[in-house]
Amino acid sequence: MRLQYPPNLRIIEVPCTGKVDILHLLQAFEQGADGVMVVGCMEGDCHYMVGNLHARTRVKRAQEILNTVGLGAERVAMYNLSSGMGGRFAEIVTEMTNKILELGPSPIRRAMGKGQMVREAGEATT
Amino acid sequence: MIKAKPKPLEEIIDNVKDFSKLLIAGCDGCVTVCEAGGLKEVKVLASALRLYFTQAGKQVQVDEASLTRQCEKEYLAQLNDRMEGYDAVVSLACGVGAQYLAEMYNHKPVFPGVDTCFLGVNEERGLYSERCQACGRCILAETGGICPITRCSKRMLNGPCGGSDKGKCEINPDIPCGWELIYERLKTLGQLDRFERLVEPKDWTTSRDGGPRKIIREDLRI
Amino acid sequence: MSATTPSKLQQIIASGQMAVTSEVGPPRSADGEVIERKAKIIKDYVDAINVTDNQTSVCRMCSLACCIRLKLMGLEPILQMTTRDRNRIALQSDILGAASFGIHDLLCLTGDHQHFGDHASCANVFDLDSAQLAMAVRMMRDEGRLLGGFQFEVRPQMFIGAAVNPFAGPNVFMRVIRMGKKAAAGVQFVQTQCIYNLDTFKEFMKIAEDRGLTEKVAVLAGITPMKNVGMAKYMQKRVPGIDVPDEVVKRLAGVPKEKQAEEGINLAVEQIEELKGVPGVRGFHLMAIEWEEKVPEIVERVGLYPRPSMGGGS
């Protein structure tokens, strides 16, 4: 559809969000991710029946952990959309990016010595 | 099996926040089955702790391990070579394993990572319920295979009480009345005559009330 | 009815007359005067007075202290004992203490779970249940022996009672079986849970009679007058083990608010009149909690005043 969305998104494809382990989420932050989005099918439409429901519980658990350890639950989020919803995809990426910009770089990244404030979406980051 | 649940992360952090070399030790036994303290939970806790320490600006080494069982010295001994390298351990084994680990490595602080809750069953994944109180003198033969000491909130032996309401316990409608269950089971088994028998006061010495317990099986010892 | 004791209640029942008991709830403080005040309101209208034992697991002045006070007032107390808070040592100990003051009536109860009370986080005891407590009392009375085996001389002369609830699960038949077990354990009289469903209660009594239990156990029918429709609804929905038929709720709802208390008393009076005719009913236990002042009226209206005076008693 050639819609524009912020370039700071690294996409990792999985056959079903049910494949996403909570460790994937946590280790992404360990390695310096500022935010993680889990984008799954609409609830009820999962090809594997409940994969996206499992993903939801794992995202929720990750949010609790991130809150407790001082990173903030908002850095990880789950979205549900169908593969035909290109416009919505662009929307949610923009939404998440703006949220993360507000929160600032992950404290992990800062501690790793790599965090720099990005002024606007689209500006290259270090 | 023993059923446990993960301790709140805040509590664990509070216990270990001043150490710099941690071992998170899980157990492949009961706590793996109830998804509270197996290798997976060890990794999740270790990751969470690393995130915590890093954002707090601390350099902390958090290592991961899981033993076949922590209630057995031969498995605990597998940690022998590494133990000097740590200044504290979080054990995700049940209270039994955590204590045994602490006993063997008594010069290292050992903190529990789970709350050990009861002896119970898996009704479904993530739904566990209590079945046995380890009273030391099993009476299941008399009660159709249902334990009144565990399933009756008042551990009555001549139940049910007057609060048994539509098959539920007076203290919580989610708890079935243990004695109603026994009655139905005895009926199914054609053993309702057992229901009419008066049960005498119990000897609780084989239970917790008799003090810490031991079994010595001479037939297993040389 | 097995062993005879100096209990006045036992004598009245044995004489074939309808017995009347009621209850007083101790205060949640060290104020002994409360019990005296409540007892004075009802004393001429009942044969014996129950003192509840940390009822609904709310910590109150102990039943034993209150019973001693009533005894010293010249009244006949019924000591209620639950097994929730005391083990067999404490229970037998309290029975010896009660007997030393000439208390002759004991109600053996398992007791409400502490979940309901003001100390929900406490450990409970439940070393014995109500039937086992009855067994213990009978052994103390008839053999001069404690559960642990110790033999002693001066025995408690207890008329042994228990509670029955014809309305609890699993079904009416099994509740009769349970009463039979208590009788086998030594129970001589029972006070029932408050009755609103007379049909179920009559069914219970019929089964008990068929099994010969009404010969062995004196049943005192429990009556609690409703103060208002709110109380009726609350008891219907929120109190386990109580059966309040819709007709009762409707009847109270059908009168204006200021008349509901009176209607509740009317209903209680009608119930007692009807229950008098049920075989096996040997009397009534009026539970007018925090409404003791209505007991005299009820007893008068059902023609059970004045109470018979039985000579003797210790």
pLDDT of B144-188, one tens digit each? 999 999 999 999 999 899 999 889 999 999 999 999 999 999 999
> Is C16 a domain residue?
yes
Q: How confident is the model at residue A125 (pLDDT cuts 50, 70, 90)?
A: very low
Q: What is the pTM of this model?
A: 0.91
Instruction: Please give the mean pLDDT across all residues of chain C.
Output: 95
Q: Is the dihedral of CA B177, B178, B182, B185 positive or negative?
A: positive
> Is C3 a domain residue?
no
Report yes or no: A38 at the B interface, CB cutoff 8 Å: no
Q: What percent of chain C has pLDDT over 90?
A: 93
* C-beta atoms of B156 and C113 within 8 A: no
Q: What per-residue confidence (pLDDT) applies to A19?
A: 97
Q: What is the mean pLDDT of residues C15-27?
A: 96
> Is B199 a domain residue?
yes
Q: Which of B118, B148, B183 is the last residue of a domain?
A: B118
> Is B196 a domain residue?
yes
Q: Which of B84, B118, B152 is the last residue of a domain?
A: B118
Q: Which tokens is B150 given?
A: 């565990």
Among A30, A64, A70, select the one facing B50 at the smallest CB separation: A30
Report yes or no: C180 at the B interface, CB cutoff 8 Å: yes
CATH number at residue B113: 3.40.50.2300
CATH number at residue C25: 3.20.20.220
Tell me which chain B residue has its CA closest to the CA of residue A33: B51
Q: How confident is the model at residue A122 (pLDDT cuts 50, 70, 90)?
A: very low
**Residue extents of the structural domains in chain A:** 17-111
Q: How confident is the model at residue C261 (pLDDT cuts 50, 70, 90)?
A: very high
Q: How confident is the model at residue C165 (pLDDT cuts 50, 70, 90)?
A: very high
* C-beta atoms of B201 and C240 within 8 A: no
- Candidates A31, A58, A64, A68: best to mutate against B (most CBs of B within 10 A) is A68
Q: How confident is the model at residue A121 (pLDDT cuts 50, 70, 90)?
A: very low
Please, do chains B and A touch (3+ CB pairs < 8 Å)? yes
In which domain, by residue range, is B110 found? 2-118
Q: What per-residue confidence (pLDDT) applies to B141?
A: 96
Does pLDDT of A126 surpass 60?
no
SS3 C59: coil
8 A C-beta contact, residue B66 and residue A45: no
Q: What per-residue confidence (pLDDT) applies to A114?
A: 64
Q: pLDDT digits over C86-95, tens only?
A: 999 999 999 9
* C-beta atoms of A22 and B57 within 8 A: no
Residue B113 and residue B80 share a domain: yes
Q: Which tokens is B215 given?
A: 């079994």
In which domain, by residue range, is C283 found? 8-301
* C-beta atoms of B48 and A26 within 8 A: yes
Q: What is the ipTM of this complex?
A: 0.91
Q: How many CB pairs under 8 A join A and B?
A: 47
8 A C-beta contact, residue C137 and residue C160: yes
Regions of chain B with pLDDT less than 70: none
Using CB atoms, list chains with 3+ pairs below 8 Å to chain C.
B
8 A C-beta contact, residue B201 and residue C136: yes
Q: How many CB atoms lie within 10 A of CB C154?
A: 9
Instruction: Give the Å distances, CA to CA, from B61 to A33, B54, B87, B92, B221.
Output: 20, 10, 10, 18, 42
Bridge-based pairing of strands A76-80 and A36-40 is: parallel
Dihedrals φ, ψ of B121, to 5°? -115, 160
Using CB atoms, list chains with 3+ pairs below 8 Å to chain A.
B
8 A C-beta contact, residue B3 and residue B114: no
Dihedrals φ, ψ of C30, to 5°? -90, 20
The count of structural domains within chain B is 2
Does pLDDT of C47 surpass 80?
yes
Instruction: Please give the helix or strand (H or E) that residue B172 lies within, else none.
Output: strand B172-176
The count of structural domains within chain C is 1
Preceding peptide of C296 cis, ω within 30°: no
Q: What per-residue confidence (pLDDT) applies to C311?
A: 54
Instruction: Please give the helix or strand (H or E) that residue C282 lies within, else none.
Output: strand C281-286
> Is C270 a domain residue?
yes
Q: Which of B54, B89, B118 is the last residue of a domain?
A: B118
> Is B50 a domain residue?
yes
- Helices marked H in C144-228: 172-185, 198-210, 213-216
Q: What per-residue confidence (pLDDT) applies to B218?
A: 96
Q: How confident is the model at residue C138 (pLDDT cuts 50, 70, 90)?
A: very high
- The alpha carbon of residue A87 is apart from the nearest alpha carbon of chain B, in Å, by 34
Instruction: Please give the mean pLDDT across all residues of chain B.
Output: 96
Residue that wins the pLDDT comparison between A117 and C193 = C193
Q: How confident is the model at residue A111 (pLDDT cuts 50, 70, 90)?
A: confident
Q: pLDDT digits over A34-75, tens only?
A: 999 999 999 999 999 999 999 999 999 999 999 999 999 999
